[in-house]
Amino acid sequence: MRITVERTSCNFEREALIRPFGFKGGYMGEMWQTAARLTGASGESGLGICTQNVLWSDPRVFASHSESAGNALMFAVLDWALTRVEGQSFETPIELLERLLPEAYAYAKGVCRRDDLKLTFVLNALVGFDNAAWMLYCREKGYKGFDEMIGAEYRAVLPERHGRVACIPLIAYGIPIEQVRQLARDGYFFLKIKIGSDPEKDGSFEKMLEWDCGRLSAIHEAVGGIETAYTDSGRIAYYLDANGRYDSKDRLRRLLDHAKRIGAFERVVLVEEPFAEEYKVDVSDLGVMVAADESAHSDEHARERIELGYGAIALKPTAKTMSMSLKTAKAARSAGVPCFCADLTVSPILVDWNKNVASRLPALPGLKIGAFETNGDQNYRRWDELMSFHPCAAAQWTRPQRGVFHLDGDFYARSGGILEASEHYGELAR
């Protein structure tokens, strides 16, 4: 039975951050939260939400516009996509996204006036659209949970049911060392450390490397001696994220050599997206697991990175859509490459979209439990209020305890609440 979309709607609200959020050499002051609704001919509807991140998805768009203008461009892509699908039918959300994506990409290139626009910009814009399609799909088909929703083909890709999943905090450029130390003391044992800073805003790669080396030294000195039961080493683990800022393997080797000198190298579980995606070089000889994030826009792009020696793929259901993430996870598993879930500083409901995937992925090498990144509580001024918009806000599994989410039968029975409508966002998209 095909599902026909009869009408659509969308809206957004702006969420201020506690402090400027620095990565990719830039800084954000706010995040736009969008809500999208798809209503079928049957009268059933699906509600999806999205956290926009222009700086992450295409930093050139971010740099060439005001922060609000960049967000407005991304929202325009969502609005266009919703209007475009009115009157169309689909069998599955994956089919719908595959059909719409080339058209949406062409439209986005036009409104952004960039023929070289990153595909991640479009995928980020369509997260709420895709989530709404999944919810409508479940309601039309009578599916009650995540496993039933994704079907047998993708259940095989997500075989686990972790009872504990680590919460990976984000150590952005401006996070004070004392705060990092406190996170480790509070039980957070897998730290995502942003590297690739532009400390003097002059684009100097040598100054970037010097800053990164100093930052890693300071963090390792602060937390290197803290013990944990959740890693093979018994010590705090590091996850370095360059967001494509390194210009060469040689410069990255110099950072890794520094890590060896200070005794931090063995703690590095992975290095994420060290190079710009145009810099296609084999990374299998770096001695550390290198992960693709932004460059793995799609399952096809993930395969390209795997051929270049990338040993892990970052899945982002809340940044590249659930549909594309499932396809990418399937491609990675076929190649024997592990996946993990990374954040986009998303709102609490979207945390549970990620958590549903992360809780079913095998643990990364070096870790004893599943793990995924979530850092919204570190960055939003009104995190507690955002949490109140979650349909399962009172559930214990919505909050980590000493750095770990404890996932019980209720979490799996309710699929983290992702298929339950939020009153707040429902009103926003009405």
| pLDDT tens-digit map of 57-95 | 999 999 999 999 999 999 999 999 999 999 999 999 999
Q: pLDDT-derived band of residue 39, with 50, 70 and 90 as boundaries?
A: very high
Look at phi and psi of residue 244 and say left if phi exceeds 0, alpha if psi is from -120 to 50, else beta.
left
Domain stop point among 114, 136, 151: 151
Instruction: Decide if 426 is inside a domain.
Output: no
Based on the domain organization, do 184 and 212 belong to the same domain? Answer: yes
Q: How confident is the model at residue 115 (pLDDT cuts 50, 70, 90)?
A: very high
CA quadruple 387, 388, 392, 394: dihedral sign: positive
Instruction: Tell me: pLDDT of 288 over 80.
Output: yes
Asked whether residue 428 is assigned to any structural domain, the reply reads no
Asked if residue 344 lies in contact with residue 53, where contact means CB atoms within 8 angstroms, the answer is yes
The residue-averaged pLDDT of 112-117 equals: 97
How much of the chain, in percent, has pLDDT values that exceed 90?
A: 95
What are the tokens at 39?
A: 């209503």
Mean pLDDT on 358-382? 95
Residue 430 lies in a domain: no
Q: Which amino acid is at 260?
A: K
In-domain check, residue 423: no
Domain containing 46 equals 3-151
Instruction: Tell me: do 167 and 123 sit in the same domain.
Output: no
Are 74 and 180 in the same domain? no
Are 86 and 209 members of one domain?
A: no
CA 310, CA 386: separation in Å to the nearest integer? 36
Query: Do 159 and 107 sit in the same domain of this protein?
Result: no
Angle between helix axes 127-141 and 322-334 (nearest 10 degrees) is 90
What pLDDT band is residue 25 in, cutting at 50, 70 and 90?
A: confident
Determine the average pLDDT of the residues in 405-410. Answer: 98
How far is 27 from 35, CA to CA, in rounded Å? 24
201 and 138 housed in the same domain:
no
Q: In this structure, are 127 and 197 located in the same domain?
A: no
Residue 295 one-letter amino acid:
S
CATH code where residue 409 lies: 3.20.20.120
132/292 Cα distance (integer angstroms): 27
Q: Give every CB contact of residue 177 below 8 A, 6+ residues apart in sequence.
A: 218, 219, 222
* pLDDT for 216: 98
Residues 136 and 215 in one domain: no
Q: Is 0.75 surpassed by the pTM of this model? A: yes
Q: 147 and 177 share a domain?
A: no
- Residue 207 corresponds to which tokens in the numbers above? 């100054």
> Of 91, 119, 151, which one is at a domain's C-terminal end?
151
For the domain that residue 91 is a member of, what is the CATH number?
3.30.390.10
Q: Is the pLDDT of residue 244 over 80?
A: yes
Same domain, 115 and 245: no
- Whether 165 and 294 share a structural domain: yes
Name the domain boundary from 151, 168, 199. Answer: 151
Q: In the chain, how many domains are there?
A: 2
Residues 271, 189 share a domain: yes
> Using CB atoms within 10 A of its CB, is residue 413 exposed (0-12), middle (13-18) or buried (19+)?
exposed
Q: Say if 429 falls within a structural domain.
A: no
